[in-house]
Chains A and B, each alone.
Chain A
Amino acid sequence: MENTLKFNSKIPVSSLTHKWEDHKSTLKLVAPNNRYNIEIIVVGTGLAGGAAAASLSELGYKVKAFCYQDSPRRAHSVAAQGGINASKNYKGDNDSVYQLFYDTIKGGDYRSREANVYRLSQISSNIIDQCVAQGVPFARDYAGYLDTRSFGGTKVSRTFYAKGQTGQQLLLACYSSMSRQIGKGRIKMYNRHEMLDLVIVDGIAKGIIARNLVSGEIERHSAHAIVIASGGYGNVFFLSTNAMGSNASAIWKVHKKGGLFANPCYTQIHPTCIPVHGNYQSKLTLMSESLRNDGRIWVPKKLEDAVYIRNGTKKPEDIIENNRDYYLERRYPSFGNLVPRDVASRAAKERCDKGFGIENNDNKEGVFLDFSFSIEKYGEEKANELGIKQPNFLDKKKLGKKIMESKYGNLFHMYEKITNENPYNTPMKIYPAVHYTMGGLWVDYNLMSSIPGCYVIGEANFSDHGANRLGASALMQGLSDGYFILPYTIADYLSEHLTEKISTKHIAFQLSEINVKNRIQKLIQNNGNMSVDFFHKKLGNIMWKYVGMSRNHIGLCKAIKYIQELRDEFWKNVFVPGNIDDGLNSELEKAGRVSDFLELGELMAMDALNRKESCGSHFREEYQTKEGEAMRDDIHYKYVSVWEYKKNKPISDEIMHKEDLNFSFVKLQSRSYK
């Protein structure tokens, strides 16, 4: 592998606390009268893309926004439940910009950029103010002030929330702001459109090829700059908490046009999802991490009890306190149930691998998340408040349930609808599932990819979360990129590319369009025997088994081989019904996305194979302590792995570059939550 530096992260040289302020003062500006002549394409309209589209058009640029859904209000940011972090110290628990920065760096297992994370932490406070001004109905305390709660990996209460629907409320605020600009004609909205290629002219990004998913038409769109905000690629695993349509196609096309791809192997496995219950299942449902504030996680201490529970002869309530193993509290006394997601996930896997799993599914995978303690505690407090003397157990339970309902009502309701069990009365069953991808397109400090004129924001880029993402920080990054960073940094680029509007008749557009059409034709005319889902599920199985919660050398080598074989099989044997000019064709949409996943999956395995250490969500079985904790190797792996695609060569020929990570503000320590 080579290590020639082909990119410059452009991290400002001043002191960490002043980097962003100093950098801003050096960025070039675009005069308001010029902005109206500049067109910007935004692909994806979740929190990052929506915020960027709204802000850019507010500044006076012409924006074309694209989403595959029927409305920007559906973007999967809508499903984020628990909350959004900000260092405001409203609770007086000694929170600060530094604390949030430190928690995030440590949470990411020292594999993120110091400068980016510090900026994120500085901006976090503005985000809350902005959203309040937009009318986001955040939770309030009885004095009328903003309420907060705690999340995993932190010891302060800095998560702002709107019940279990924080993502929805933030996204709707974003969508409202966008709608205002669409109404004015400043944003042209392309619903039910999908980006299928990036168009590059003389080395810089000048447009996209998109498919109108309703008419089936292939369209050319040119612009002065392109912003990719298409989210993460967790659906490569088939079963994940992502929306069914979430895909990697936009970022993958950018990668294949020369955009470097960073840390592809970092996939966050979220510890609190509803366990898999059948092979017909299409996706997994997340239960917010905030539940861990009021839930205790356990499995039976005795193997035979686990068997009884799985076959239904015992209920969780039948296992007495002494026979329960609260394994997170046992192993990590200082953080307990609030350890970061990767730690909690692995601990659950460890128990289930040893046979203590409680769910009656194929792999016997599942642990309990028990709320009875909190229900009783809250009930007792409320009874005291109401002056009820010597409340009995049932009274306390009734009062406590009410309090739980006000905090997590919609989540409990969701759980009950899916599983047919009432979590107020019996513990929830949970198990880890694929949730968020920290890897993504490589970007510099200005959020520009390695292709000039192509910016990448939100989950689609790699920059802020390192090897693990702490809870309530995805919404923070999306909005910070979209509302507060990109609008400044993109002007710096645009100021030097004011007049370069390219006609869509340019040869580069023609060639791109031909390629896109050929690929669609190939898929439709293939006439094989298996459905797209068949291949997607197979890929998902390989990924989960070998590139999932824990990885090892042999497994990763197998994964690479199996994925290559499956990809060959796909192109030989996939069947996509319909004709090219049929218009709406969901199978064709899926086929295109799965064909991209079949390439990205291989790169993820290659990246995991290269990283011979355990860090954050990347757990290599060969590198662990005697107690089963992750063993990081800062001497050899303190870098971002940055992959370069070689034109017309197989994925296995990709070259890896290294961006060294420098830590001047924090001291690298092994991450302990004990």
Chain B
Amino acid sequence: MNFKLKIWRQKNREEKGYFETYKIDNISPNSSFLEMLDLLNNQIICNKKQDSSPISFDHDCREGICGMCSLYINGRAHGPDNLITTCQLHMRHFHDGESIYVEPWRAKPFPIIKDLIVDRSSFDRIIMSGGYISVSTFGKTIDGNMIPISKDQADKAFDAATCIGCGACVAACKNRSAMLFVSAKISQFALLPQGKIERKKRVLNMINKMDEEGFGTCTNTKACEVECPKGISTEYISFMNREYIQSFIT
């Protein structure tokens, strides 16, 4: 397959970015999107005359679980397929000869580092503000089976816990809201008995931090749910809102 690629290039955070056009031919429909970019980079590197540097993009595990890859492809976070990350996207989802636009996540709390790489450390700072259970990691605790948890409850907590922190929810949202990400963590812990003790403090701290980092609010368009590679439901946002209100009631 042959493609025309329009890729966002930006030297660093300060400099202005622009789209650059590339051509790539003979791509197997079974190759992944990132493998196609590897080949393009190889083409750029081997064609030294062009005075063009390879395209920087984030990626690591390439099996859809680390959350490092990003890319806004043809106007959609993680491209034109559902329930996947960019590294799981394969070229068979595109038409031969198609023009493909590739951009970084666009959100103020995710400043661009270079080309398609953005800085998502704001997510880390939200977790630091309370996305944990304050148990000592170094001591004796009770036997795991002393805290029975119903299967339904455990499954629900698990579904919330599947968030990989990729930031697609933010990229997909017109308000740049991080509520799906934050609500997933809050729900996971609030649903488990171990997390209940700190639940009021946790929801307040995390929501405050989220606002402080400059993420927008939720207006229920559910774009985040559509683009979430792990299919996390916006029900957790409602759950978080209830937690938030309850945290004021003593």
Contact = CB atoms under 8 A, between A and B. Distances in A.
Contacts of A281: 31, 35
Interface residues of A, number: 85
A586 B56 contact: yes
Interface on chain B toward A: helix, strand, loop, or mixed SS?
loop
Contacts of A534: 42
A175 B151 CA distance: 25
Contacts, number: 217
Contact of B131 (A133, A169, A179): A179
A339 interface: no
A51 B137 CA distance: 8
A73 B165 contact: yes
A518 to B, nearest CB: 23
B114 A584 contact: yes
Nearest to A242: B61
A169 B163 CA distance: 10
Contacts of A168: 65, 162, 164
Contact of B154 (A137, A189, A484): A137
B83 interface: yes
A325 interface: no
A414 B53 contact: no
Contacts of B158: 137, 139, 162-163, 169
Nearest to B27: A280
Interface in A159-191: 162-163, 165, 168-169, 172, 175-177, 179-180, 182-183, 189, 191
A413 B129 CA distance: 33
* Most chain A CB inside 10 Å of its own CB: which residue of B35, B38, B68, B84: B68
Given A73-B67, A418-B90, A531-B46, A183 B129 contact: yes
Interface string B75-103: 00000010110001010100000000000
Contacts of B249: none
A135 interface: yes
Given A141-B151, A584-B113, A280 B61 contact: no
Nearest to B12: A583
A519 B61 CA distance: 27
Interface string A108-128: 000000000000000000101
B123 interface: yes
Interface string A45-64: 00000010011001100000
B250 interface: no
Interface stretch (B140-148, B168-176, B218-226, B234-242): B140-148
Given A78-B65, A135-B192, A282-B35, A179 B141 contact: no
A485 to B, nearest CB: 11
Given A58-B137, A135-B189, A214-B113, A282 B38 contact: yes
Contact of A417 (B34, B58, B64, B164): B64
A479 B168 CA distance: 30
Interface string B152-196: 001001100110110000000000000000000000110010110
Contacts of B64: 414, 417
A451 B92 CA distance: 51
Contact of A133 (B27, B60, B194): B194
A143 B148 contact: yes
B119 interface: yes
B22 to A, nearest CB: 15
Interface string A305-324: 00000000000000000000
A483 B137 contact: yes
Nearest to A213: B113
A78 B144 contact: no
Contacts of A74: 60-61, 66-68
A179 B137 CA distance: 12
B132 A487 contact: no
B132 A179 contact: yes
A165 B229 CA distance: 14
A577 interface: yes
A288 to B, nearest CB: 11
A146 interface: yes
B165 A71 contact: yes
Contacts of B134: 180
Interface in A517-545: 529-531, 533-534
Nearest to B119: A70
Given A413-B83, A414-B63, A176 B127 contact: yes
B62 A243 contact: yes
B186 to A, nearest CB: 12
Nearest to A534: B42
A646 to B, nearest CB: 35
B217 interface: no
B45 A531 contact: yes
A137 B63 contact: no
Nearest to A278: B28
A70 B58 contact: yes
Given A281-B35, A584-B113, 20 more contacts: A70-B58, A71-B121, A74-B61, A78-B164, A128-B144, A129-B142, A132-B147, A137-B188, A140-B148, A144-B151, A177-B132, A182-B128, A191-B124, A280-B28, A280-B39, A282-B35, A414-B63, A414-B88, A529-B46, A584-B114
17 contacts: A70-B58, A70-B119, A78-B164, A79-B65, A126-B140, A132-B141, A133-B135, A135-B133, A137-B158, A137-B161, A140-B149, A180-B132, A243-B60, A244-B60, A282-B62, A418-B90, A577-B53
9 closest A-B pairs by beta carbon, nearest first, are A144-B148, A176-B132, A183-B128, A132-B144, A137-B158, A140-B154, A55-B138, A243-B60, A133-B141
Interface of B: 12, 27-28, 30-32, 34-35, 38-39, 42, 45-46, 48, 53-54, 56, 58-68, 81, 83-84, 88, 90, 92, 113-114, 117, 119-121, 123-124, 127-129, 131-138, 140-145, 147-151, 154, 157-158, 161-162, 164-165, 188-189, 192, 194-195
